[in-house]
Each structure stands twice: as C-alpha cells, then as structure tokens.
Structure 1
Amino acid sequence: MAVLIIDPAAEDELDRLYESDEDAAALIDALLEQLGDDEGTLGEIFRPGHFFRYRPPFEVKRFEEAQRRGKNIFTMRVRDEAGTLLPYRVLFAHHAQIDSHYVLSVASREDAYDPSKPGFLDLLVRYDEHGIPAYKY
C-alpha cells in the first residue's frame, strides 16, 4: 500500500511559503493532501508524466542531478487554476521496497535545482535520514 510521508523540514518550508505566497502554498498543500488520500496515483507518481486530472494539475520529472548521485528523487511541478506553472517545486523520493513516497522539500525553482545551494545538500541528507536506499542509474 503506497503512502505519502511529508518530512518535517518540508512541512516547515511549506509553512514559510504561506507567509510569502499564500495562494501557491495553499495549492501545494491541497495537492499533497489529495495525493495522500489517493493510493492509485501514489503508485504512479514516481513515473515521470503529467497528471492533469488533478486540481491543481502537476507534472513529475526525474531530478537528474540527484539521480546521478544515486538518490531516487523526483520533482513535482505544480500549476495553478489557469495552468500557469508555479515558481516552486516539490521534491520527493520514492522508497520502492516499502512503496513509500517522501516529500523532502518545497523550494523555489531557482533553489530547487542548484547543487551549489545549501538546500540541495539538505535534500540529500533528508533522503538518507529516511533510510531510502541509494540506486545506480
């Protein structure tokens, strides 16, 4: 049974986002709540693709830099009601052996992909803290 677990640090990031961009934070929060209740979609979100039947719609892509480092991490790109891409990314990992998905970070687009930023290192640490195995790609 697939489950969604939100890392406490990611929850804190989402709370901070409410202070600066309440609308975007509310959309991301609503999406995560929906996903937590939808085992069928959780069983698919580690496969890159578009999920337009959701409100808000979203897209999943592999986080190539993290995966080159053996981390099974993906990015979720969320859109608003008008279809505009939000300037934030939800970074999550999939632990295939126990079919669990971990939301590790909610970050601005600029910071989410930059391995020179402290947030990238935090992401890798959070991944390891959850005991998610490293993978070879």
Structure 2
Amino acid sequence: MARLIVTREIKDEIEALKHRDIDAAAQALLLLQELAGDQAKLEDLCVEHNHYLYDPPFEVKVLQNARKLGLNIYILKYREDDGSLPGYRILVGFDAQRSTYYALALADRNTSYDQGSAAFRELRARYDKYSIPIYR
C-alpha cells in the first residue's frame, strides 16, 4: 500500500507561495491532498506519463539529473483550473522499498537542478533527511 508524506519543507513553501500566487499554491495543495487520499493514483504515480484526465490534471517526469546519481525523484507538473501551467513544480522522492512518496519541494519551474546548483544540494539534503534510498 503506497502512501504520500507531505514534508514540513513543502508545507512551508506552499504557505510562502500563498503570498505571491494564491492560485498556484491552492492547486499544489489540492494535488497533494488528492494524491494522499487516492491509493490508485499513488500506486501508479512513478510511471512517467500524463494524468490530464485526473482532477486536478498533472504530468509526471523523472528528474534526470537526480536519476544519474541514483536518486529516485519525480517532477509533478500540475495544471491551473484554466489548463495553464503555473510557474511551479512539485518534486517528489520515492522510497520504493517502503512504497512511500515524500513531497520534498515546491520549485519554481525556472530553477536549475544541475548537480552543482544550490537548489540541487538543498533537494539532495531533503532526500537524505528522509532516508530515501539511493538506487544504482
């Protein structure tokens, strides 16, 4: 049985986003709530594809820079009510051994996640903090 843990870090980031873009924050929170309460969606979450028929619609992609290091991190690109893409993504780590997803970060879509960036180091620190395994 899969589960989703919404970390303190992403909760804080969503709260901060409410002051800049209330709609994007609301959509991110809605997606996380929907996923946490829907076992079927969670079971299929790490399969890369579009979930545009879901409510709210979203797309899943592997964060390739992380995958090269054995980190199991996915990008959730969610949609606004009007179908447009907001300027933010949800980054989720997956512990396959425990069937547990960790909502690690709410990231600006323009953030660079190359392996030398400060954003990548912070994401990696969160991944390690929640003891998500490295997969080689």
Q: Same fold (TM over 0.5)?
A: yes
Q: Distance in 2 between matches of 1:10 and 1:100?
A: 16
Residue in structure 1 matched with residue 93 of structure 2 by the alignment:
93
Partner AA of 1:65 in structure 2 = N
Structure 2 residue 108 is the aligned partner of structure 1 residue 130 = no
The 3 A distance-change label for structure 1 pair 10 and 112 is farther
How many Å apart are 1:55 and its aligned residue?
A: 2.3
Partner AA of 2:87 in structure 1 = P
The 3 A distance-change label for structure 1 pair 65 and 95 is same
Q: Distance in 2 between matches of 1:86 and 1:43?
A: 25
Partner AA of 2:6 in structure 1 = I
- Residue 113 of structure 2 contacts residue 119 of structure 2 at CA under 8 Å; is this kept in 1? no
Deviations 1:11-54 (A, max 9, x none): 11111111100001001101110100001110111111111222
- Residue 89 of structure 1 contacts residue 112 of structure 1 at CA under 8 Å; is this kept in 2? no
Corresponding residue pairs, total: 136
Structure 2 residue 113 is the aligned partner of structure 1 residue 113 = yes
Alignment map for 1:10-25 (pairs within 5 Å)? 10-25=10-25
Residue in structure 2 matched with residue 69 of structure 1 by the alignment:
69
- Residue 14 of structure 1 contacts residue 106 of structure 1 at CA under 8 Å; is this kept in 2? yes
Moved more, 76-85 or 90-99: 76-85
Q: How much identity, in percent, do the aligned residues show? A: 37
The 3 A distance-change label for structure 1 pair 115 and 17 is farther
How many Å apart are 1:113 and its aligned residue?
A: 3.1
Q: Distance in 1 between matches of 2:65 and 2:110?
A: 14
The 3 A distance-change label for structure 1 pair 119 and 129 is same
- Residue 5 of structure 1 contacts residue 103 of structure 1 at CA under 8 Å; is this kept in 2? yes
Partner AA of 1:70 in structure 2 = G
Structure 2 unaligned blocks of 5 or more: none
Deviations 1:63-105 (A, max 9, x none): 0001111100010001112221111010001101110000000
The 3 A distance-change label for structure 1 pair 117 and 100 is same
The 3 A distance-change label for structure 1 pair 92 and 14 is same
